């Protein structure tokens, strides 16, 4: 007993001495981290979730820390703005001070996989006993990069799609039945006509809420183009912009919403705010917005994305956790244990948080449909995953290809089209050229 | 008759120097001044509104009901006190060092003769033209490498050498009466002693002007703290609060508009307060330092 | 001759050292490194690879670079005269010391002390096309709604308006201080000559203020050439890059796309442009900032 006590205190003394030394290497008043340096294993997590989904994620991390109180494993979360995220991660990796894990988007990290910034997880997942068989097969496949050893580079956390939210007050006002929202594109356009409000020739309330630039017209184009048969890359990742005429038709479709059908206006700056304040009726967006609109008591429902082209397709995004290169390889296992816990306990995240769960065991829980926002708001984002296939192109230039971006190469090129400054053919030629280069580079 | 009108126009309103003829001009200028202040009114007014009454068809300058929920939310759900503390430490230390070092350099450049002096001053002035963004990424890597990312040192060090401080003190000391120094020189005092004992205590006006301007710059500094802080608890106030802007935050904070206005209101307070408190001295300092050559 | 002048005083080095050391470490050194990487290809991972003038060639052919540089000239053409003229008028007004002039002085200066974050959040709200305060009142005057931040034709103007509001304070106090320094007897003499107030302004005030005007124009010009944070928080350069500035593009290239060498090359080009414009402006105003 006495011996044990003595040993214990000696270890403590050593720990304190080490902490003291560490704190002295960088004076404590200069270092924001010194306080944490003494805790046993602190896993550093970087997140860029800043919308209402971020609040739920913070609860997940809190829950982990509460469950592991006194067990020597704690997560410290730091928020990094999304557009700086990879720059900071890479700068941190180069200097040997990378965070342990962070949020990633499937298909967007080919370059980082190649450069070794993110690490393959197959082995360490087995080590900690993460049940890969419980994951949706498609989700796992999306987390791999075939050209880089087909390694698993992220643990999928949620599956997301774009589906229309519809302001039900506007429907009732126009005498339309919220239970009978059409699935056919032409009928949806007709509903949009009926709910649009105009002052002379200018739209004052959009039937289909769009912004004049940025992510919204880009993603709308991307979805409709895919519905019409356009492919950003052939399945073998060899040919870019297959069926360009479908892409051109989709550009015309977006332009027509503004100029021919006049159901949308380019004047909307902030789409989320605009829908929240009733400036538009039909608004396709992701599940991360639900909590915010619920808090605002906005009268809305979510439906399945309409079919404007030949087949029903919508945007697919998969969020997940990725591990960054460490100098101390021993950290991977501890980090993976944390990630495993977060995945195993992601019921909260995929009900109240966002998206559909990639875990079969969670999806099949009887309470999965009753937790979180009501099903008439959340259901479309779970059921709609069936046709959410327009995801990322897993090459190094992936960020140039994504249709969900307000400022990438694609969005910037298309912006000229929406503003009437670039001819659609010209834009398509530029897109084809740049994307082909991206595919050729692998 | 005309003379009578003119006399009336020139008559001053009691207790002021405003003549009757100038009243329209005075009112017009006052109107513009009020316009200039309206964005602040709008900001504060929005911050006191319930979320549901923010976007209204007509402009509502006054909240229908005044609530403090937005402030409560900001203060309880975000580490805004910590951000404010960080900003105060960073802006305070950086400003103090910058003003002191700037005064020393400005004094030497104005009063002392040494080889390379003019070239050094020219280099300082030329650096104003340089887009510091060239240096930002190399600097970022250097600080991460040194293990100083997300620390006060990283936030403070690059902002110490603000050339404006040197400039304002140099201009002031150029017109500094030489007799004051000469007496001390005869007493055998060194230049450094003269600076601390005689020159610096008399340089209150430029010191205040430099303090206000540089504190404001540091308090509002945006790009560098945005890049170098990786840690919620090390963010400065402008960077922390910028997360409420759609561009900086990832997927807009839906509930954030009234809350965001509460946050920016809090963000405005310290620098506005500092300016209001030091307003008189500040203007005097500007006139003695920046203008007179 | 004051004591100490005319000889090499070593204590001068000590006095400037405290400022010069951080200046060299945190401004000059990273800058030189930045100029070096302008001739390399570097994406953070790995070592910079020497590519000679390739980045500069690419920049000169890059339509987004051309666009950003065109925009910055347009920004300067709006903001610099806007700030200078308004600040001068405001200073003249406050200088009259009419009732409430202290309040007016505070109102004119205060925007200068708020951060870009405030500009971003408050002005985006004011300039909103559909619900913005500005369009609401313009509408009352019969002016149709202006898409301030959403159309390629207007976004630059929208950002410039907010910039004028934000930047004006410093120019304003500089003018105000200078006005207070104009010797009273000059006005008295002019008044005795029966000069009208406008003539006094033209013949007495303006000539006296020339050095300050030149200084304000120079400072504002340099600041505007480097315009970034308000662009970043208000529009992020959109739509179609119509409000993007060179520094905003440099930020995009370096931080979002992590092409550090290319970003550095654009920075060097911007620096050259600033030097050129500053020289041109001084030639035009033919009055050096004294010092």
Query: Does residue A143 share a domain with residue A62?
Result: yes
* H-run or E-run covering A26: none
Structural domain range at position A204: 163-316+387-441
CA-based torsion, B251, B255, B257, B260: positive or negative:
negative
* A-proximal residues of B, 31-60, CB under 8 Å: 51-52, 55
Query: Does residue A181 share a domain with residue A147?
Result: no
For chain B, which chains pass the contact test of at least 3 CB pairs under 8 Å?
A, C
* H-run or E-run covering B199: none
pLDDT for residue B288: 63
pLDDT for residue C16: 94
Query: Does residue A227 share a domain with residue A168?
Result: yes
Which chain B residues are within 8 Å of A94, Cβ to Cβ? Answer: 141, 144
Predicted structure pTM score = 0.84
Answer whether residue A27 is part of any domain.
no
Residue C290, token pair as written in the block: 């004294």
Distance from CA of A207 to the nearest CA of B (A): 18
Query: Does residue A199 share a domain with residue A120?
Result: no
- Residue bearing the bigger pLDDT, C238 or A2: C238
Query: Does residue A126 share a domain with residue A186?
Result: no
pLDDT for residue B246: 61
**Phi/psi zone of residue C97: left (φ > 0), alpha (ψ -120 to 50 degrees), beta?**
left
Which of B6, B10, B74, B137 should one mutate to test binding to chain C, selecting the residue with the greatest count of C CBs within 10 A? Answer: B137
Query: Does residue A411 share a domain with residue A263?
Result: yes
Which chain C residues are within 8 Å of A83, Cβ to Cβ? Answer: 255-256
Which residue in chain B has the smallest CA separation from C30?
A: B135
Q: What percent of chain B is modeled with pLDDT above 70?
A: 91
Query: Does residue A145 share a domain with residue A234?
Result: no
B171-216 pLDDT tens trace: 889 888 888 888 888 888 888 889 998 899 988 888 988 888 898 8
Distance from CA of C60 to the nearest CA of B (A): 17
CATH classification number, B69-287, choose in 3.40.50.2300, 3.20.20.10, 1.10.3720.10, 2.30.30.40: 1.10.3720.10
Query: Does residue A301 share a domain with residue A194?
Result: yes
pLDDT for residue C88: 95
How many domains does chain A contain in total?
2
Among A382, A399, A433, the domain-final residue is A382
Are the C-beta atoms of residues B254 and A293 closer than 8 Å to each other?
Answer: yes
Please say if the pLDDT value at position A11 is more than 80.
no
Answer whether residue A10 is part of any domain.
no
Please say if the pLDDT value at position B235 is more than 70.
yes
Answer whether residue A19 is part of any domain.
no
Please say if the pLDDT value at position C26 is more than 80.
yes
- Minimum-distance CB partner of C239 among A91, A117, A213: A213
Among A363, A382, A401, the domain-final residue is A382
When the pLDDT of each residue in chain B is averaged and rounded to a whole number, the result is: 83
Answer whether residue A34 is part of any domain.
no
Cα separations (Å) of C5 from B174, B181, B191, C9, C170?
13, 12, 11, 8, 34
pLDDT for residue A3: 33
Distance from CA of C79 to the nearest CA of B (A): 16
- Residue bearing the bigger pLDDT, A220 or C205: A220
Please say if the pLDDT value at position A248 is more than 70.
yes
C252-272 pLDDT tens trace: 888 888 888 899 899 889 988
Q: Residue C30: which of C260, C275, C191 has the closest Cα?
A: C260
Query: Does residue A287 share a domain with residue A408?
Result: yes
Query: Does residue A286 share a domain with residue A177?
Result: yes
C222-243 pLDDT tens trace: 889 989 888 988 888 878 888 9
A288 close to B (CB below 8 A): yes
In sequence order, the β-bridge partners of residue B35 are: none
B117 close to C (CB below 8 A): yes
Please say if the pLDDT value at position C6 is more than 60.
no
pLDDT for residue C290: 42
Which residue in chain B has the smallest CA separation from A91?
A: B141
Answer whether residue A361 is part of any domain.
yes
Among A359, A382, A405, the domain-final residue is A382
Please say if the pLDDT value at position B108 is more than 90.
yes
Determine which of A115-129, B93-107, C174-188 has the lowest per-residue pLDDT on average: C174-188
A355-389 pLDDT tens trace: 899 999 999 999 999 998 999 999 999 999 999 99
pLDDT for residue A271: 83
HEC string for C10-42: CHHHHHHHHHHHHHHHHHHHHHHHHHHHCCEEE
Which residue in chain B has the smallest CA separation from A27?
A: B153
Domain ranges of chain B: 2-47, 69-287
- Minimum-distance CB partner of B115 among C8, C106, C180: C8
Q: Do C147 and A94 touch (CB under 8 A)?
A: no
pLDDT for residue B158: 92
Answer whether residue A285 is part of any domain.
yes
Answer whether residue A372 is part of any domain.
yes
Q: Cα(A34)–Cα(C101) distance, rounded to whole angstroms?
A: 51
User: A interface toward C at CB cutoff 8 Å?
Assistant: 83-84, 86-87, 90-91, 93-94, 115, 117, 202, 204, 211-214, 266-270, 274, 277, 279, 406-407, 412, 415-416, 418-419, 421
Specify the length of chain C in residues: 291
- Tell me the mean pLDDT in the region A337-365: 94
A136-171 pLDDT tens trace: 999 999 999 888 888 999 999 999 999 999 999 999
B123-175 pLDDT tens trace: 998 888 777 766 777 788 788 777 788 889 999 999 999 998 998 899 889 88
CATH at residue A392: 3.40.190.10
Answer whether residue A247 is part of any domain.
yes
C239 close to A (CB below 8 A): yes
Return the number of other C-beta atoms located less than 10 Å from residue B120's C-beta: 21
Q: At what angle do helices C260-285 and C54-61 cross, to 10 degrees?
A: 70
Query: Does residue A324 share a domain with residue A312?
Result: no
Query: Does residue A138 share a domain with residue A216?
Result: no
- Minimum-distance CB partner of B113 among C6, C236, C255: C6
Nearest-5° angle of CA A47, CA A50, CA A56? 80
**Phi/psi zone of residue A176: left (φ > 0), alpha (ψ -120 to 50 degrees), beta?**
beta
Q: Do C124 and A266 touch (CB under 8 A)?
A: no
Are the C-beta atoms of residues C238 and A406 closer than 8 Å to each other?
Answer: yes
């Amino acid at each position: 007993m006495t011996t044990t006590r003595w040993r214990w205190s000696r270890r403590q003394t050593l720990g304190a001495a080490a902490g003291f030394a560490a704190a002295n290497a960088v004076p404590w008043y200069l270092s924001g981290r010194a306080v944490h340096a003494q805790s046993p294993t602190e896993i550093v997590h970087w997140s860029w979730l800043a919308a209402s989904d971020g609040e739920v994620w913070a609860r997940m991390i809190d829950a982990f820390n509460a469950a592991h109180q006194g067990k020597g494993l704690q997560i410290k979360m730091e928020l990094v703005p999304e557009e700086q995220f990879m720059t900071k991660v890479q700068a941190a990796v180069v200097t040997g001070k990378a965070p342990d894990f962070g949020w990633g988007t499937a298909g967007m990290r080919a370059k980082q996989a190649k450069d070794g910034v993110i690490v393959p997880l197959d082995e360490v997942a087995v080590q900690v006993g993460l049940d890969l068989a419980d994951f949706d097969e498609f989700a796992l496949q999306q987390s791999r990069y075939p050209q880089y050893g087909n390694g698993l580079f992220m643990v999928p956390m949620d599956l997301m799609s774009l589906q229309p939210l519809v302001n039900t007050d506007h429907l009732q006002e126009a005498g339309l039945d919220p239970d009978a929202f059409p699935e056919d594109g032409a009928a949806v356009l007709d509903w949009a006509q009926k709910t649009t409000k105009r002052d002379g020739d200018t739209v004052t309330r959009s039937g289909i809420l769009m912004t004049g630039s940025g992510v919204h017209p880009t993603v709308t184009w991307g979805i409709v183009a895919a519905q019409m048969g356009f492919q950003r890359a052939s399945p073998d990742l060899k040919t870019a912009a297959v069926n360009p005429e479908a892409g051109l038709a989709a550009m015309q479709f977006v332009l027509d919403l503004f100029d021919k059908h006049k159901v949308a206006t380019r004047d909307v700056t902030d789409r989320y705010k605009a829908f929240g304040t009733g400036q538009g009726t039909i608004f396709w967006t992701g599940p991360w917005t639900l909590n915010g609109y619920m808090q605002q008591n906005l009268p809305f429902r979510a439906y399945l994305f309409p079919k404007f082209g030949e087949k029903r397709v919508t945007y697919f995004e998969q969020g997940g956790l990725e591990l960054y290169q460490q100098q101390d390889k021993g950290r991977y296992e501890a980090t993976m244990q944390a990630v495993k816990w977060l995945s195993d306990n992601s019921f909260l995240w995929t009900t109240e948080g966002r998206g559909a769960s990639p875990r079969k065991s969670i999806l099949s829980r009887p309470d999965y449909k009753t937790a979180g926002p009501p099903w008439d708001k959340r259901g479309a984002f779970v059921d709609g995953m069936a046709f959410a296939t327009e995801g990322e192109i897993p090459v190094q230039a992936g960020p140039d290809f994504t249709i969900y971006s307000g400022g990438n190469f694609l969005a910037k090129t298309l912006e000229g089209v929406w503003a009437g400054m670039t001819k659609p053919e010209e834009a398509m030629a530029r897109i084809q050229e740049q994307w082909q280069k991206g595919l050729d580079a692998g | 008759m005309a003379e009578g009108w003119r006399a009336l126009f020139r008559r001053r309103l009691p207790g002021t120097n405003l003549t009757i003829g100038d009243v329209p001009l005075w009112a017009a200028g006052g109107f513009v001044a009020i316009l200039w202040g309206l964005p602040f009114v709008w900001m504060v007014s929005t911050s006191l509104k319930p979320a549901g009454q923010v976007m209204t068809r007509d402009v509502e300058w006054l909240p229908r009901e005044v609530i403090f929920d937005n402030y409560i939310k900001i203060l309880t759900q975000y580490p805004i006190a910590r951000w404010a503390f960080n900003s105060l430490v960073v802006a305070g230390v950086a400003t103090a060092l910058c003003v002191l070092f700037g005064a020393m350099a400005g004094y030497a450049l104005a009063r002392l003769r040494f080889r390379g002096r003019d070239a050094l001053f020219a280099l300082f002035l030329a650096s104003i033209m340089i887009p510091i963004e060239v240096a930002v990424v190399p600097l970022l890597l250097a600080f991460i490498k040194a293990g100083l990312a997300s620390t006060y040192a990283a936030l403070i060090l690059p902002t110490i050498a603000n050339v404006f401080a040197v400039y304002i003190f140099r201009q002031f000391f150029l017109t500094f009466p030489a007799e004051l120094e000469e007496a001390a020189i005869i007493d055998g005092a060194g230049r450094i002693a003269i600076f601390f004992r005689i020159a610096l205590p008399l340089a209150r006006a430029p010191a205040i002007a430099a303090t206000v301007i540089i504190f404001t710059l540091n308090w509002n500094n945006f790009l560098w703290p945005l890049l170098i802080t990786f840690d919620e608890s090390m963010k400065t106030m402008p960077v922390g609060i910028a997360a409420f802007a759609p561009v900086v935050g990832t997927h807009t904070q839906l509930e954030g508009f009234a809350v965001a206005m509460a946050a920016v209101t809090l963000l405005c307070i310290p620098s506005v307060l500092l300016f209001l408190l030091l307003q008189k001295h500040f203007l005097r300092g500007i006139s003695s330092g920046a203008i007179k050559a | 001759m004051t004591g100490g002048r005319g000889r090499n005083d070593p204590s001068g080095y000590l006095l400037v050292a405290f400022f010069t050391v951080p200046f060299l470490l945190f401004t000059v050194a990273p800058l030189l490194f930045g100029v070096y990487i302008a001739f390399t290809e570097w994406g953070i991972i790995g070592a910079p690879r020497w590519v000679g003038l390739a980045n500069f060639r690419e920049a000169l052919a890059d339509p987004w670079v051309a666009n950003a540089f065109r925009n910055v000239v347009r920004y300067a053409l709006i903001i610099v005269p806007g700030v200078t003229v308004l600040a001068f008028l405001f200073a003249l007004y406050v200088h009259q010391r009419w009732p409430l002039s202290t309040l007016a002085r505070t109102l004119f200066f205060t925007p200068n002390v708020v951060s870009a974050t405030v500009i971003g959040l408050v002005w985006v709200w004011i300039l909103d096309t559909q619900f913005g305060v500005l369009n609401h009142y313009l509408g009352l005057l019969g002016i149709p709604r202006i898409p301030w931040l959403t159309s390629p034709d207007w976004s630059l103007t929208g950002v410039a308006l907010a910039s004028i509001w934000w930047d004006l304070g410093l120019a304003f106090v500089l003018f105000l201080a200078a006005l207070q320094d104009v010797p009273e007897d000059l006005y008295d003499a002019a008044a005795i000559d029966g000069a009208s107030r406008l003539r006094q302004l033209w013949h007495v005030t303006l000539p006296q203020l020339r050095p300050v005007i030149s200084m304000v124009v120079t400072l504002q010009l340099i600041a505007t050439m480097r315009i970034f944070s308000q662009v970043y928080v208000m529009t992020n350069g959109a739509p179609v890059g119509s409000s993007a500035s060179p520094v905003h593009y440099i930020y995009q290239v370096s931080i979002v796309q992590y092409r550090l060498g290319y970003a550095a090359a654009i920075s060097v080009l911007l620096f050259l442009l600033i030097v050129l414009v500053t020289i041109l402006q001084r030639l035009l105003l033919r009055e050096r900032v004294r010092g």
